[in-house]
Amino acid sequence: MLSFKQSFMFVLLLCVSCQAAAVGVFVEGGLHSGGDTIVTAVFTDGSTESIKAGDFISGAIGIESDITDSLLLKLSAGLKIDLILAENADLSFERMPFEAMLFFKGEKLHLGAGITHHRYVRLRGDFGLGIPTADFEDATGYAVQLDYLLNERGYLSLKYTAIDYQVFNGGPDIDGSSIGILIGLRFGK
């Protein structure tokens, strides 16, 4: 199997070598759900809130290029985060996804699949309560996305990401897989 760097270089070379006349920029944001529970915070009133490895909010910016009339290549970088905010403690699970996806274009639907590589994966806290913080290994997984085109610029998406995280210095794999609903805007093409 190709490493992430080898896969990314292959996709980058493919993008550079394609004779596409139009390269555009896109931004997208979404809400995600899924994955294993990483930490559960217990509040003074007895209520609890959990952070899951695939959860919550994401944002990304990227470039897209038509390879052929029916194929579209998208490269992106973003941030995905889940938060617990409290009066005496804040917790966050952060990661930076880098993605390369190839889409088959239809009139109103685009179906894509590709690789996702998450860097700077960390659980962080601003507290003194003994809640664990941890840095995780970089992780590579796969993503599948279905875009519904609202018009020439906007789209709604359903996205599935399959990825596992592992804490530095060992430990069990943590499932970070998720399903997300995204909204995106395209510029420049």
CA angle 73–143–175, rounded 5-degree value: 155
Closest CA to 52 of 136, 174, 161: 174
Pick the more confident residue, 20 or 148: 148
Pick the more confident residue, 124 or 185: 185
Please say if the pLDDT value at position 130 is more than 90.
no
Residue 42 has a pLDDT of 79
Sorting pLDDT into bands at 50, 70 and 90, what band is 6? low
Measured between alpha carbons, how far is 77 from 73 in angstroms, rounded to an integer? 14
Ordered by start, the domain boundaries in the chain are: 4-16+26-187
Residue 186 has a pLDDT of 95
- Contacts for 19 with CB less than 8 Å, ≥ 6 apart: none
Pick the more confident residue, 97 or 125: 97
User: What CA–CA distances, in Å, run from 83 to 41, 47, 189?
Assistant: 11, 16, 35
Please say if the pLDDT value at position 17 is more than 60.
no
Q: What is the CATH T-level fold of the domain 4-16+26-187, as seen in this structure?
A: Porin (2.40.160)
Residue 131 has a pLDDT of 57
**Average of pLDDT values for 96-125?**
95
Query: pLDDT averaged over the chain?
Result: 87
Pick the more confident residue, 41 or 183: 183
**Amino acid making up residue 165:** Y
- Contacts for 29 with CB less than 8 Å, ≥ 6 apart: 57, 58, 59, 60, 182, 183, 184
Whether residue 16 contacts residue 31, with contact meaning beta carbons closer than 8 Å, is answered with no
Please say if the pLDDT value at position 11 is more than 80.
no
Measured between alpha carbons, how far is 125 from 71 in angstroms, rounded to an integer? 43
